[in-house]
Amino acid sequence: MAKERKKLKKKEGNAAKYTTRNKALNRLQIKLPEFRRLCILKGIHPREPKKKFEGSHKTYYHVKDINFLAHEPLLETGRALKVYKKKIKKAQAKKNWSLVTRLEANKPSYSLDHLVKERYPSFIDALRDLDDPLTMLHLFATFPAEASYKIPAETVNNCRRLSLEWQAYVARTHCLRKTFISVKGIYYQADVAGQKITWLTPHVLSQVVPNDIDIRVMLTFVEFYETLVGFVNFKLYHSLGLKYPPILDSKLEAEAAELYAVMRDLGKEAHEASEKEKDSNDFNSLSDTDTNHAQEPVNTESRLAESRARLASLQDRLSKMAKPEGNEKLLGVTDDDENMEEDENEDDDTRQCKALFKDLKFFLGREVPRESLLLLIRAFGGVASWAGDNAPFEESDEDITHQIVDRPTQGHIFLSREYVQPQWVYDCVNNRLLLPTIDYLLGRVPPPHLSPFVDNEKEGYVPEYAETLKRLQTAKEGKVLPLPGEEGSKDTEQFLESVVANRTESMEELRKTQKQAILEKTYQEELTKEIAGIPFSGSIQTMDRDEVDGEHVVEKEAYSHPETMDEEPPSAIAKAMMPRKARKLYAAMQIGKQKKQAEIDLLKERKRKSERKQNKKVAPEIEFQHTFESRCKASG
Amino acid sequence: MRSSEKKQVEESKKAASNGAVVSDINGVPSVPDSAREDISNATSESEDEDWHNSSSDNDGDSSSISDNTDESSDEDDEDTKAINEAMLDYMGALEERRQREALGSEEEEPRSARTEVESDSSEDEVPSRNTIGNVPLHWYKDEQHIGYDLAGKKIKKKEKQDQIDSFLAHTDGSKSWRKIYDEYNDEEVELTKEEVDMIRRIRAGRIPHAEVNAYEVPYVDWFDWDGKGHPLSNAPEPKRRFIPSKWEAKKVVKLVRAIRNGWIKLDKPKEKPKFYLLWGDDLKATEKTANGLTYIPPPKPKLPGHEESYNPPVEYIPTQEEINSYALMYEEDRPKFIPQGFQSLRQVPAYSEFIKERFERCLDLYLCPRSRKKRIDIDPESLIPKLPKPKDLQPFPNICYLEYHGHTGPVVSIAVDPSGMWLASGSMDQTVRLWEVQTARCCRVWSLDGPVRHIAWNPRKDLGILAISLQSKVLLLDLELGTSDPDEVSKLLALNPSVMDNDGDGALVTWMKHENLKALEVKHSQEVLSITWHHKGDYFTSVAPDANTRAVLVHQLSKQQTQNPFRKLQGRVVTAMFHPSRPFLFVATKMHVRVYNLVKQQLSKKLMTGLHEITSMAIHSKGDNLIVGSKEGKICWFDMDLSTQPYKTIKNHHEDIQAVAFHTAYPLFASCADDSTVHVFHGMVYNDLLQNPLIVPLKILHGHSKTGGRGILDCCFHSNQPWLFSAGADSVIKLFCD
In degrees, to the nearest 5, what angle opens at C-alpha B331 toward C-alphas B327 and B336?
85
Mutation target among B344, B399, B698 for the A interface, most CBs of A within 10 A: B344
pLDDT value for B707: 86
pLDDT value for B357: 93
Residue A291 pLDDT class (50, 70, 90 cuts): very low
pLDDT value for B617: 93
pLDDT value for A371: 84
Phi-psi domain of B345 (left: phi exceeds 0; alpha: psi -120 through 50; beta: other): alpha
Q: Which DSSP symbol is given to B481? A: -
Residue A402's closest CA among A430, A370, A441, A369? A441
* Binary contact (A448, B311; C-beta < 8 A): yes
B319 contacts in chain A (CB < 8 Å):
606
Say whether residue A445 is in contact with chain B using an 8 A CB cutoff.
Answer: yes
The H helix count followed by the E strand count for chain B is 13, 33
The Cα–Cα gap between B523 and B120 comes to: 149
pLDDT value for A256: 33
Burial level of A120, CB count in 10 A (0-12/13-18/19+)? buried
Mean pLDDT to the nearest integer, A393-410? 87
* Binary contact (B350, A568; C-beta < 8 A): no
Does position B336 have pLDDT exceeding 70, yes or no?
yes
* Binary contact (A451, B309; C-beta < 8 A): yes
* Binary contact (A67, B292; C-beta < 8 A): no
The residue that leads in pLDDT, B322 or A308, is: B322
Mean pLDDT to the nearest integer, A194-202? 93
| Burial track A228-263 (b if 16+ CB lie within 10 A, e otherwise) | bbbbbbbbbbbbbbbbbbbbebeebeeeeeebbeeb
Phi-psi domain of B173 (left: phi exceeds 0; alpha: psi -120 through 50; beta: other): beta
Q: B-contacting residues of A 301-330, CB under 8 Å?
A: none
Residue B615 pLDDT class (50, 70, 90 cuts): very high
Residue B290 pLDDT class (50, 70, 90 cuts): confident
Burial level of B616, CB count in 10 A (0-12/13-18/19+)? buried
Residues 6+ apart with CB under 8 A from A425: A362, A373, A376, A377, A404
Work out the mean pLDDT of chain A and round it to a whole number. Answer: 74
* Binary contact (A126, B387; C-beta < 8 A): no
pLDDT value for B467: 92
Burial level of B315, CB count in 10 A (0-12/13-18/19+)? buried
Residue A349 pLDDT class (50, 70, 90 cuts): confident
Does position A344 have pLDDT exceeding 50, yes or no?
yes
* Binary contact (A574, B369; C-beta < 8 A): no
Backbone angles phi, psi at B580, to 5 degrees: -65, -25
Residue of B nearest to A182 (CA): B309
What is B391-737's CATH number? Answer: 2.130.10.10
Mean pLDDT to the nearest integer, B587-594? 92
Residue B490 pLDDT class (50, 70, 90 cuts): confident
Say whether residue A64 is in contact with chain B using an 8 A CB cutoff.
Answer: yes
Mean pLDDT to the nearest integer, B95-105? 57
* Binary contact (B346, A406; C-beta < 8 A): yes
pLDDT value for B178: 84
The residue that leads in pLDDT, A277 or A386, is: A386
pLDDT tens per residue across span A447-499: 999 999 998 888 888 888 999 899 988 888 775 444 444 443 444 444 444 44
How far off is chain B from A539, nearest CA to CA, in Å?
41
Residue B77 pLDDT class (50, 70, 90 cuts): low
Residue B30 pLDDT class (50, 70, 90 cuts): very low
pLDDT value for A530: 62
Lowest mean pLDDT, pick from A54-58, A603-607, B81-85, B389-393: B81-85
Which of A40, A193, A209 has the CB atom closest to B366's CB atom? A40
Work out the mean pLDDT of chain B and round it to a whole number. Answer: 80
pLDDT value for A260: 31
B325 contacts in chain A (CB < 8 Å):
none
Residue A578 pLDDT class (50, 70, 90 cuts): confident
pLDDT value for A528: 66
pLDDT value for A568: 57
Does position B277 have pLDDT exceeding 60, yes or no?
yes
Residue of B nearest to A127 (CA): B285
The Cα–Cα gap between B716 and B732 comes to: 14
How far off is chain B from A448, nearest CA to CA, in Å?
5
Q: Which ipTM did the prediction report? A: 0.75
Say whether residue A129 is in contact with chain B using an 8 A CB cutoff.
Answer: yes
In chain B, what percentage of residues exceed pLDDT 90? 27
Mean pLDDT to the nearest integer, B89-113? 53
* Binary contact (B309, A421; C-beta < 8 A): no
Residues 6+ apart with CB under 8 A from A216: A33, A150
pLDDT value for B265: 72
Mean pLDDT to the nearest integer, B266-294? 81
pLDDT tens per residue across span A33-45: 999 999 999 999 9
Residue of B nearest to A423 (CA): B345
Could you tell me if B662 and B680 are in contact, meaning their C-beta atoms sit under 8 angstroms apart?
A: no
Residue A25 pLDDT class (50, 70, 90 cuts): very high
3-state secondary structure (DSSP) of residue B511? strand
Residue B660 pLDDT class (50, 70, 90 cuts): very high
pLDDT tens per residue across span B40-51: 444 444 334 444
pLDDT value for A181: 94
Q: Which amino acid is at B101?
A: E
The residue that leads in pLDDT, A466 or A537, is: A466
Residue B533 pLDDT class (50, 70, 90 cuts): very high
Residue of B nearest to A455 (CA): B305
pLDDT tens per residue across span A82-118: 999 999 999 999 998 988 988 888 888 899 999 999 9
Residue A368's closest CA among A384, A390, A392? A384
Question: Model pTM greater than 0.90?
Answer: no
How far off is chain A from B656, nearest CA to CA, in Å?
16
Does position B187 have pLDDT exceeding 90, yes or no?
no
pLDDT value for A4: 58
pLDDT value for A547: 42
Could you tell me if B90 and B112 are in contact, meaning their C-beta atoms sit under 8 angstroms apart?
A: no
How far off is chain B from A545, nearest CA to CA, in Å?
31
pLDDT value for B254: 94
Backbone angles phi, psi at B671, to 5 degrees: -135, 140
Which of B282, B300, B308 has the CB atom closest to A184's CB atom? B308
Say whether residue A262 is in contact with chain B using an 8 A CB cutoff.
Answer: no
Residues 6+ apart with CB under 8 A from A575: A583, A586, B384
Lowest mean pLDDT, pick from A299-313, A330-344, B272-286: A330-344
pLDDT value for B180: 85
| Burial track B43-75 (b if 16+ CB lie within 10 A, e otherwise) | bbeebeeebeeebeebeeebeebeebbeebeee
Which of B298, B340, B366 has the CB atom closest to A36's CB atom? B366
Mean pLDDT to the nearest integer, B254-283? 83
pLDDT value for B12: 45
Q: Give the start-to-end residue ranges of the domains of chain B.
A: 1-52+84-106, 139-210, 391-737
* Binary contact (B315, A116; C-beta < 8 A): no
Mean pLDDT to the nearest integer, A341-363? 77
In chain B, what percentage of residues exceed pLDDT 70? 81
pLDDT value for B165: 84
Say whether residue A462 is in contact with chain B using an 8 A CB cutoff.
Answer: no
Lowest mean pLDDT, pick from A610-624, B83-97, B260-274, B707-721: B83-97
A224-233, A328-337, B61-70, B275-284: which has the highest mean pLDDT? A224-233
pLDDT value for B659: 93
pLDDT tens per residue across span B626-639: 999 999 999 999 99
User: What is the CB neighbour count within 10 angstroms for residue A396?
Assistant: 9
User: What is the CB neighbour count within 10 angstroms for residue A30?
Assistant: 20
Residue B571 pLDDT class (50, 70, 90 cuts): confident
Mean pLDDT to the nearest integer, A525-552? 50
pLDDT value for B114: 42
In chain A, what percentage of residues exceed pLDDT 70? 65
pLDDT value for A278: 41
pLDDT value for B512: 84
Does position A566 have pLDDT exceeding 60, yes or no?
no
Mean pLDDT to the nearest integer, A370-396? 83
End-to-end CA distance of chain B: 155
A573 contacts in chain B (CB < 8 Å):
390, 697-700
* Binary contact (A578, B371; C-beta < 8 A): no
pLDDT tens per residue across span B165-176: 888 887 887 778
pLDDT value for B91: 61
How far off is chain B from A134, nearest CA to CA, in Å?
12
Residue of A nearest to B679 (CA): A573
pLDDT value for A83: 94
* Binary contact (B283, A449; C-beta < 8 A): no
pLDDT value for B585: 92
Residue A119 pLDDT class (50, 70, 90 cuts): very high
Residues 6+ apart with CB under 8 A from B333: none
* Binary contact (A449, B316; C-beta < 8 A): no
Residue A13 pLDDT class (50, 70, 90 cuts): confident
Which of A59, A221, A234 has the CB atom closest to B277's CB atom? A234
